[in-house]
A = this chain, B = another copy of it.
């Protein structure tokens, strides 16, 4: 990994814990192991580092979703088949994948925390956060449950309400067990319980 990439990585780590304003250019340079002045050969300002992180995330999201085998956003038939055919087990696998990706993936979890911290300071940041961790998740699952209801896997009257009932507990537990790596087992157990309850209610 070259110096520019290491700057981005260390900056994200610091931003996700202390925030943008709470992190100085010297903090980042120290973490990388160079002088703060040297950092300006790679980025023309602190703000440019922040913007680079946001751009980098969209690239990683694409790559990760392929690695994790998550179906494409617009390929609902395939998604419904993938998770629908195996019903309860499938839906549990889906929830655990989403959950663990945002809880444990180094870049994704730090990026999420950074957005959480910075969301009120900058409207644009809030929109990225809302889009990625709320709207995208719910609209994806709304389509998924509509498809699964049509196939008779689940019985619900409103796919959007189902999606919120499926995703909100994941979102809640993500926030609840954030920053507590020692309680990962408890977190996964709580998640499993909610998914089972969801399955029971809509079966």
Interface residues of A (CB under 8 A from B): 16-22, 113, 116-117, 119-121, 126, 130, 134-135, 157-158, 160-162, 164-165, 167-169, 171-172, 175-176, 179, 190, 193-194, 197-198, 200-201
7 additional A-B pairs beyond A20-B22, A120-B179, A164-B190, beta carbons within 8 Å, are A18-B21, A134-B175, A157-B200, A161-B193, A161-B197, A164-B172, A165-B165
Most buried by B among A126, A134, A169: A169
Closest 3 CB pairs of A and B: A21-B22, A168-B172, A168-B168
Partner pick for A172 among B19, B161, B167, CB 8 A cutoff = B167
Q: Chain B residues near A179 (CB, 8 Å)?
A: 119-120, 126
Q: Chain B residues near A157 (CB, 8 Å)?
A: 200
Find out whether the CB atom of A161 lies under 8 angstroms from the CB atom of B121: no
Find out whether the CB atom of A113 lies under 8 angstroms from the CB atom of B120: yes
Bound form: Cα–Cα A126–B190 in Å: 20
Find out whether the CB atom of B19 lies under 8 angstroms from the CB atom of A193: no
Partner pick for A168 among B17, B121, B135, B169, CB 8 A cutoff = B169
